[in-house]
Amino acid sequence: MTNHKLNTGRRRFLKTGAATAMALSAPAILRAEGTGAIRVGMPTILSGVVSILGESSVAGAKLVFDEFNASGGLDGRKIELITRDSRAKPEEAAKAVRDLVNGDGCNIILDAEASSGSFAVQEVIKSIGALCLHTVSEATPLSADPALHAPTAFRSARQGIHDAIGGGAYAAAVAKEKGLKRWATCSPDYAYGRTTTAEFMEYAKYFNSDIEVIGQAWPKLFQPDYTEVITRILQWRPDALYSALWGGDLVSFIDQANLYALFDQTETFSVNLGDYPVLTAVEQLPNGMRSGSRYNKVVPNTPENNAFYDAYVAKFGTLPTNWSWENATAATFVIEALKDVGTDDPVKLAEAIRGRTIASPFGVDGTLTMRAEDHTLTGYAVGYGVTTAEEPFMKDFHTSSWEQILELEADWKKRQGFA
Amino acid sequence: MEPAALLDCLTSLSCVVTQTTSGLIIGMLFFLVAAGLTLIFGVLGIVNFAHGAFYMVGAYLAYSAYQVTGSYLVAVLAGGFGAAILGVLFERFAIRRVYGENVLLQLLVCYGFVLVADDLVQIIWGSEYLSMGMPQAFRLPPVFIAGGIVPPFYIFIITVAAVFAAVLWFIIERTQYGRIIRATAVNPTMVSALGIPTPLIYLSVFALGMFLAGMAGGLAAPIRALTPGMGFSVLIVSFVVTVIGGMGSVTGALVASILIGLVRSYGSIGFPLFVDGLMYVMMGLVLVLKPNGLLGRQEASRP
C-alpha cells in the first residue's frame, strides 16, 4: 500500500515534471503563436552617449502600440514590445536579434540601431527570415544595394540620398542667391558622415556648378574637443559650411565654434540641427543656421502631426526626436499589416507591407509609402529651413519635391549599379 | 597630407597665434583631467579606469549647481567637491580592497563603477544632451592677437589650468604633505612605520585626484555636451598623456598635455586625416626612447 502510493506519487511527479520540461523546452516561437501576445523585438542603444536614440525610438513605437492595444489589439491579441540594449555594438545587435527571435518568440523586429548595427542585423534577418523594419539607419546602401536585399526587411527611416538631393537643391539655391562659392564640410569620420556629406555636396554642385569644396574636416565620433577642427575651418575662410555632425557632438561643436564666432563668418547648413534634443540643448543658437528636416511639430504643419507631438509629450514628458517618428511609422506599418493578414507570420506580413501606403502624420501629403522595389520609405518631409532659438525652432521651411527626388535617385542608383 | 598648408601656416603670424593658442587650450583641458589620473597611479599604483566617470559626474553636478545658482564658480566647485566626495566613498568601499591586487581585478572594479555611474546619471539627469551654456561673463567676442583668434573663455581656462599646475607642483614638491605623498609612493611600509597613517594618505590622494577630474568636468561643461557615458571620450587621451608624461609625474602630464595639444593643433593643418595617429605615434616614440615617460620616475613599490 505504502509502496503503491509511493510509486503512484513518483509516477505523477515524473509525469508532471516531464510535461513541465516539455512546455519549457518548446521553442518560444511556438509558445508565442496562437492567442498570446504578438511579440515585437527591438534591439537598440539604451545606454551610453546616444542612449537618447534608444529611449526615443522605444517611445515612438510604444505610443503607437499602446494605442492599438487600448483599442483591443488584433482580435484581443496585444502587442508586446521587448527591447534589448546593444550598447551601440553591431555584434551585440546581431546577437540580440537572434535572442529575440529564437528565445523570446518575436516574429517581428524593429531594428532601432545606428547604421553599423543595422547592417549586422540585416545579415541576421537574411538567415532567419523574421520581419524587420530598420527604423533608424539612414545609410542609403542598406536598402538600395540589391546585394544586401532581404525579402522580409524594410526601412522606415529616412534615406540619406533623399535628404542629399533635397538638401543639395536647397543649398544650391541659397548659394546662388548669396554668392556662396567656397564650401567647407565638417562631418563625423565614419560611414554615415562621409556618405551623407559626399552625397549632399554632389547634389549641391549638380544644381549649382559654381560651388567648390575647399576643405573637409572629419572629426572622430564622440570627440570631446573640436578646437583644432574649428581653427582649421577658420583658416580655410569658407563662404559656407556643411555639417553632418549630430546629437551631443553637434551641441559641443556649436558651443565651441561660438567662441570663435565661426557662424558669424560663414553660412551654415547642418542637416541634423533640427532635432529637438539638439535645438533645446544649445544655449546660444546662432542666428540663421539652416537645418534639414528631422522631426518638427510644424513640418508638416497639419493637425495630425500636431496631435502626434502633443500625445508624445503628454505620455513621455520629453520632445519627440527624428527617431521617434521613424519608429512610430514602423509600428504603424506593422499594425496595418497585422490587421490585413491576421497573423504575425513574417512572410505574409512582408507581403502586406511591400508597396503599402499608410495614412501618416509625417507624410508630406498625409501618406507614406513603403516602396515595393527596394523596401524603403518615401513621401516623408524632406527639406531645409532656418532654425530659431524659440518654438517652433524652424522657420521658412522649404519642402523638397518628391518628384525631383525620385527622378534623381533613380539616376543615382543607375550610376551606383544598384538598378 | 597637406605639408604645403602647414608651411603656409607656419609662415603666417595669425595662423601661428591661432594654432598655438588652440594647442594650449586643447592641452590644458587634457591636463586638468590627466593630472588626477597620473597622481593616483603614481602614489597608489591604481590604473583608475573609472577616472572618466568622475569627470562626467563633475560635469553633471556643475550643470545642476549652475542651474540652481547661476554661478560658474559655484558650479565648478560643486563638480570638484562632489566628485571628491564620491571618490572618498569609492576608495573606502571598493578601491581600498584591491590595492596591490592583480591589475585585472582593479580594472574590473573600476569598470563596474563606470557602468553604475553611467546608469545613475541616465536615471537622474536623463539621456538627453545637456549643455550648461556659456556663463554671461564669458559671452564676449573673440580677441584678435596679431591677426590670430583667441576666445576669452579659453584664456580663462588656460590660466586656471596653469594655476592648478603650479599649486599641484607646490603641494607635491614643497610641502610636508607632498613629501609624505612622495615617500608613500616609494615606500609605504617605511612611511607607515614612522607612524603616518598611510590609508589616510591614500584616501586623500584619491580624493584629490577625483577633485581634479570633477573640476575639469565642471570647467569644460560650458563647451561640451553632457551625455551619459561622456567620460569615456576623455579617458583614452588621459591615459596617453599619462604614458607620455611619465606615470605618476604631474609635471610630465603638463608637458605631455601641451605637446599633444600642439601636435593636434598643427597636425590638423598638415595631417588632417592623421591627427589621432600623430598622437599615438608620439606615444610610441616615447615608449621606445624613454619607457618611463618624459618625466617619469623609476618603478616604485606599491601599497
Quick check: A349 pLDDT over 60?
yes
Residue-wise DSSP of B11-44: T-HHHHHHHHHHHHHHHHHHHHHHHHHHHHHHHH
Q: What is the pLDDT of residues B167-192, one digit of tens each?
A: 999 999 999 999 999 999 889 999 99
Does A238 fall in a domain?
yes
Tell me what the mean pLDDT of segment B73-101 comes to: 95
Q: Which of B12, B32, B140, B227 to mutate to test the interface with A (most CBs of A within 10 A)?
A: B227
Amino acid present at B68: V
- Phi, then psi, of B99 in degrees rounded to 5: -60, 130
In terms of pLDDT, which residue wins out, A24 or B88?
B88
Kindly list the residues from chain B whose CB atom is less than 8 angstroms away from the CB atom of residue A252: 223-225
Q: Enumerate residues 6+ apart whose C-beta is below 8 A from A283.
A: A255, B131, B132, B133, B134
In a domain, A325, yes or no: no
| CATH code, domain with A185 | 3.40.50.2300
Tell me which residue in A235, A252, A260 faces B225 most closely, judged by beta carbons: A252
pLDDT value of position B302: 52
Q: Do B265 and A252 touch (CB under 8 A)?
A: no
Chain Cα centroid distance, residue A175: 29
Q: Nearest-CA residue of chain A relative to B267?
A: A228
For residue B282, the model assigns a pLDDT of 95
- pLDDT digit string, tens, across residues A379-404: 999 999 999 999 899 999 999 999 99
In the block, residue with C-alpha cell 559641443: A252
Question: Between A222, A255, A280, which is nearest B233 by CB?
Answer: A222
Asked if residue B2 has pLDDT above 90, the reply is no
Those residues with Cβ within 8 angstroms of residue A396's Cβ, 6 or more apart along the chain or in another chain: A385, A386
C-alpha cell of residue B53? 566617470
Tell me how far apart the 2 most distant CA atoms of chain B are, in Å: 63
Number of domains in chain A: 1
Instruction: Tell me: pLDDT of A24 over 70.
Output: no
Chain B residue whose CA is closest to A317: B126
> What's CA B205's distance to the chain center, in Å?
15
**Distance (Å, rounded) from C-alpha B11 to C-alpha B82?**
46
Structural domain range at position A171? 161-298+382-416
Does residue A404 form part of some domain? yes
**Grid coordinates in use for B50?**
573609472
ipTM (interface pTM) = 0.90
Torsion of CA A277, A283, A287, A291, to 10 degrees: -20
Contact B230 A277 (CB under 8 A): no
Q: Is A237 touching B (CB cutoff 8 A)?
A: no
Q: Is A112 helix (H, G, I), strand (E, B) or coil?
A: strand
Chain B residue with CA closest to A246: the answer is B129
Query: Does A48 sit within 8 Å of B129, measured CB to CB?
Result: no
Contact A281 B131 (CB under 8 A): yes
Residues of A in contact with B220 (CB under 8 A): 224
Mean predicted lDDT score pLDDT of chain A: 92
Task: Give the best residue of A51, A226, A227 to mutate against chain B (max B CB count within 10 A).
Answer: A227
When pLDDT is averaged across residues B32-36 and rounded to a whole number, the result is: 92
Question: The C-alpha cell of A86 is what?
Answer: 546593444
What percent of chain A clears pLDDT 90, i.e. is strictly above it? 86
Distance from C-alpha of B289 to C-alpha of A21, rounded to nearest angstrom? 64
Torsion of CA A71, A368, A156, A300, to 10 degrees: -90
- Contact between B126 and A318 using a beta-carbon 8 Å cutoff: yes
- Give the minimum alpha-carbon distance from B295 to chain A in angstroms, rounded to a whole number: 26
Cell numbers 551641441 correspond to A251
Give the Cα separation of B248 and A371 in Å (integer): 61
**DSSP codes, A11-46:** HHHHHHHHHHHHHHHS-HHHHHSTTS-EEEEEEE--
Mean pLDDT, rounded, for B276-289: 94
Distance from CA of B290 to the nearest CA of A (A): 28
Residue A220 and residue B9: Cβ atoms within 8 Å? no
Task: Judge whether A104 and A110 are in contact, CB under 8 Å.
Answer: no
Cα–Cα distance for residue pair B95/B99, rounded to 1 Å = 7
Q: Which residues contact A75 (CB under 8 A, 6 or more apart)?
A: A342
Chain B nearest-CA residue for A257: B223
3-state secondary structure of B228: coil
Contact assignment for B226 to A52 by CB distance below 8 Å:
no
Q: Is the separation of the CB atoms in A284 and B139 below 8 Å? A: yes
Taking phi first (over 0 means left), then psi (-120 to 50 degrees means alpha), and beta for anything else, what does residue B250 get?
alpha
Give the relative orientation of helices B275-289 and B231-245 as an angle to the nearest 10 degrees.
30
Say whether residue A259 is in contact with chain B using an 8 A CB cutoff.
Answer: yes
Q: Is residue A250 part of a domain?
A: yes
Q: Which of B131, B151, B228 sits opposite A251 (nearest CB)?
A: B131
Residue A177 belongs to a domain: yes
Instruction: Compute CA B166 distance to the chain's CA centroid, rounded to the nearest angstrom.
Output: 15
Please answer yes or no on whether B230 and A232 come within 8 Å at the CB atom. Answer: no
For A295, list phi and psi in degrees, rounded to 5: -130, 135
Return the pLDDT at A190.
Answer: 86
Cβ-contact B133, B63 below 8 angstroms: no
The pLDDT of residue A35: 62
Q: Is the peptide bond before A300 cis (omega within 30 degrees of 0)?
A: yes
Judge: A48–B118 Cβ closer than 8 Å, yes or no: yes
Hey, CA dihedral for A145, A147, A148, A152, is it positive or negative? positive
Enumerate the residues of chain A whose CB falls inside 8 A of the CB of residue B22.
227-228, 230-231
DSSP E strand stretches across A71-201: 79-85, 108-111, 131-134, 153-155, 182-186
Take residue B268 and report the three cell numbers written for it.
Answer: 590638423
- Is A234 in the B-facing interface, judged by CB distances under 8 Å? yes
Which residues of A319-370 form beta strands (DSSP E)?
Answer: 357-359, 367-370
Nearest to B26 by CA among B236, B239, B220, B261: B261
CB contact under 8 A, A224 and B230: yes
What distance in Å separates residue A56's CA from the closest CA in chain B? Answer: 10
Q: CB distance B225–A232 less than 8 Å? A: no
- Chain A residue numbers touching B151 (CB-CB < 8 A): 259-260
Q: Which of B10, B122, B233 to mutate to test the interface with A (most CBs of A within 10 A)?
A: B233
Please report, for residues A131, A140, A247, the alpha-carbon distance to residue A44 in angstroms, rounded to integers and kept in the order given.
Answer: 16, 19, 16
Domain contains A33: no
Q: Which three cell numbers stand for residue A338?
A: 497585422
Checking if the pLDDT of A373 tops 70, the result is: yes
pLDDT, tens digit, for every residue of A85-119?
Answer: 999 999 999 999 999 999 999 999 999 999 889 99
Q: Say whether residue A369 is in contact with chain B using an 8 A CB cutoff.
A: no
pLDDT score of A48: 86
With contact defined as beta carbons under 8 Å apart, do B248 and B42 qualify?
yes
A147 lies in some domain? no
Alpha carbon distance A321, A180 (integer Å): 31
Q: Is residue A317, in this structure, part of any structural domain at all? A: no
- Beta A153-155 vs A131-134: how paired, if at all? parallel
Least Cα separation, residue A390 to chain B (angstroms)? 16
